[in-house]
Structure 1
Amino acid sequence: MAKVSSEQLGSEPIGKLLIKQALPASIGILVMSLNVLVDSIFVGNWIGSIAIAAINVVLPVSFFIGALGMSIGIGGSSIISRALGANDKEKALKVFGNQITLSLLVTVAMVFLGLYFIDTLIPAFGGKGDIFGPAKIYYTIVLYGVPFLALCMMGNTVIRAEGKPKFAMIAMIIPSVGNLLMDYIFIYLFDWGMEGAAWATTIGYFLCFSYVFYFFLSKNSELKISWNHFGLDRKILKEIGALGFVTMARQAVVSIIYLIMNNVLFNLGGEAMVAVYAIIGRMLMFALFPVFGVTQGFLPIAGFNYGAEKYDRVRETINTAIKYAAILASIVFVGLMIFPAEIASLFLSDKPGMTPSELAMNAFVLENTPGAMRWVFAATPIIALQLIGAAYFQAVGKAVPALLLTLSRQGFFFIPLVLILPQYLGELGVWISFPIADVLATMVTGFFLRREIRTNLITKISP
Structure 2
Amino acid sequence: MRSLSSTELGKKPIGKLLIKQSVPASIGILVMSINILVDTILVGNWIGSVAIAAINVVLPVSFFIAALGMAIGIGGSSIISRALGANNKDKALTTFGNQITITLLLTISLVSVGLIFVNDLIPAFGGKGDIFPLAKIYYQIVLYGVPLLALCMMGNTVIRAEGKPMFAMIAMIIPSVGNLSLDFILIKGFDMGMHGAAWASTISYALCLSFIIWFFLSKRSELKISFSHFGIKADILREISELGFVTLARQAVVSVTYLLLNNILFKLGGEAGVTTYAIIARMLMFALFPVLGVTQGFLPIAGYNYGAQLKSRVRESINKAILYASGLGLFVFASIMIFAEPIVRAFTDDAEIIAQTPSAMRWVFAAIPIVSIQLIGSAYFQAIGKAKPAFLLTLTRQGFFFIPLLLILPKFYDEFGVWVSFALADVISTLVTGYFLHREVRRTLF
User: Counterpart in 2 of 1:183?
Assistant: 183
Aligned to 1:403: 391
Deviations 1:396-419 (A, max 9, x none): 000000011011000000000011
Q: Which secondary structure state, in structure 2, belongs to the residue aligned with residue 339 of structure 1?
A: helix
Deviation per CA, 1:83-119: give whole Å up to 9, x if none: 0000000000000000000000000001001001100
Residues in 2 aligned to 1:428 and 1:234: alpha-carbon distance in whole angstroms: 48
Q: Give the Cα–Cα distance (whole angstroms) in 2 for the partners of residues 244 and 451 of structure 1.
A: 24
Q: Which residue of 1 aligns with 2:340?
A: 340
- 1:309 paired residue number: 309
Structure 2 partner of 1:42 = 42
Over the aligned positions, Cα root-mean-square deviation in angstroms equals 0.5
Secondary structure of the structure 2 residue equivalent to 1:223? coil
Q: Following superposition of structure 1 onto structure 2, how do residues 52-131 of structure 1 map, counting pairs within 5 Å?
A: 52-131=52-131
Moved more, 189-198 or 295-304: 189-198
SS at match of 1:73: helix
Whole-angstrom distance in 1 between the partners of 2:319 and 2:269: 44
Q: Equivalents in 2 of 1:27, 1:168: separation in Å?
A: 10
Match of 1:393 in 2: 381
Counterpart of 1:373 in structure 2 is 361
Cα deviation code 1:153-190 (max 9, x no counterpart): 00000000000000000000000000000001111111
* Partner residue in 1 for 2:238: 238
Please give the alpha-carbon distance, in whole angstroms, between the structure 1 residues aligned to 2:176 and 2:341.
26
- 1:291 paired with 2:279, answer no
Distance 2:132 2:3 in 1: 49
1:131 shift after superposition: 0.2
CA distance in 2, matches of 1:272, 1:386: 31
* Matching residue's letter, 2:16: K
Aligned to 1:161: 161
Tell me how far apart the structure 2 counterparts of residues 345 and 88 of structure 1 sit (CA, whole Å).
53
The alpha-carbon deviation at position 3 of structure 1 amounts to 4.6
CA contact (8 A) 2:3 2:166 kept: no
Q: Post-superposition shift, 1:366?
A: 1.1
**1:197-236 matches, cutoff 5 A:** 197-236=197-236
Secondary structure of the residue aligned to 2:130 is helix
Question: Equivalent residue for 1:22?
Answer: 22
Distance 2:345 2:205 in 1: 28
| Alpha-carbon distance, 1:363 to partner | 1.4
In the alignment, which residue of structure 2 is the partner of 1:448? 436
Residue from 378, 402, 410 that aligns with 1:422? 410
After superposition, give the CA deviation of every residue in 1:281-335 in whole Å (9 maximum; x if it has no partner).
0011110000000000000000000000001000000000000000000000000
Please report the TM-score for the alignment, with normalisation by the length of structure 2: 1.00
Give distance in 1, aligned partners of 2:277 and 2:373: 26
Q: Partners in 1 of 2:280 and 2:254 — Cα distance?
A: 14
Q: What residue identity is the alignment partner of 1:445?
A: T
Q: C-alpha distance in 1, partners of 2:149/2:57?
A: 18
Deviation at 1:2, TM superposition (A): 2.1
Distance in 2 between the 1:60 and 1:434 partners? 18
2 CA distance for matches of 1:259 and 1:2?
43
Moved over 4 A (4+): none
Structure 2: distance between partners of 1:174 and 1:188 = 21
Corresponding residue SS for 1:413: helix
Q: Which amino acid aligns with 2:9?
A: L
**Aligned residue identity for 2:269:** G
Q: CA deviation at 1:257?
A: 0.4
Offset of residue 11 of structure 1: 0.2
Instruction: Tell me the SS of whatever aligns to 1:454.
Output: helix
* Residues 3 and 163 in structure 2, CA contact (< 8 A), matched pair in contact too: no
Residue of structure 2 in register with 1:12 after alignment:
12
1:22 offset after TM fit, Å?
0.2
> What is the aligned partner in structure 1 of residue 194 from structure 2?
194
The superposition leaves residues 315-358 of structure 1 with CA deviations (integer Å, 9 ceiling, x where unpaired) of: 00000000000000000000000000000001114xxxxxxxxx
How many residues of Structure 1 are paired with residues of Structure 2 in the alignment?
446
Partners of 1:34 and 1:136 in 2: CA distance: 25
State the shift of 1:4 in Å: 2.7
Structure 1 residue 259 displacement after superposition? 0.2
Instruction: Give per-residue Cα distances to partners, 1:175-216, cap 9 Å, x unaligned.
Output: 000000000111111111100000000011111100001000
